[in-house]
Amino acid sequence: MRENIYFDTRALAKWYLNEARSDDVEKYIQEHGPVNISDLTVVEMRCLLARSLRTLDALHLLIAKETQADILATADRIMMAAAKAMGLSVVRFDQRGD
């Protein structure tokens, strides 16, 4: 009979994000899974991934600035606003698309 394994958010995040020991988590889940998570874990993962994406957005903006881009193409409203604030023109690919 398999053991009942509960994963907290930080351990589960290593399954989705390339971090230290991510390979260990992947191997553990493959060998011992499935694992259980809670509704709290789902909420925390959404928050964690959103923070990670915002960090990556900042890197995209920095790269656009460093490469002297004139236009930023994006489907993200927050990126649109940030790019405009930096003086970039924006081509949008969100649902409105205008």
**pTM score above 0.75:** no
Helix orientation angle between 9-16 and 22-32, rounded to the nearest 10 degrees: 100
Q: What is the pLDDT of residues 7-48, one digit of tens each?
A: 999 999 998 888 899 999 999 999 998 999 999 999 999 898
Token duo for residue 63: 């790269």
Token duo for residue 88: 């970039």
- Which helix or strand (DSSP H or E) is residue 74 part of? strand 71-74
As a whole number of angstroms, the distance between CA 2 and CA 67 comes to 53
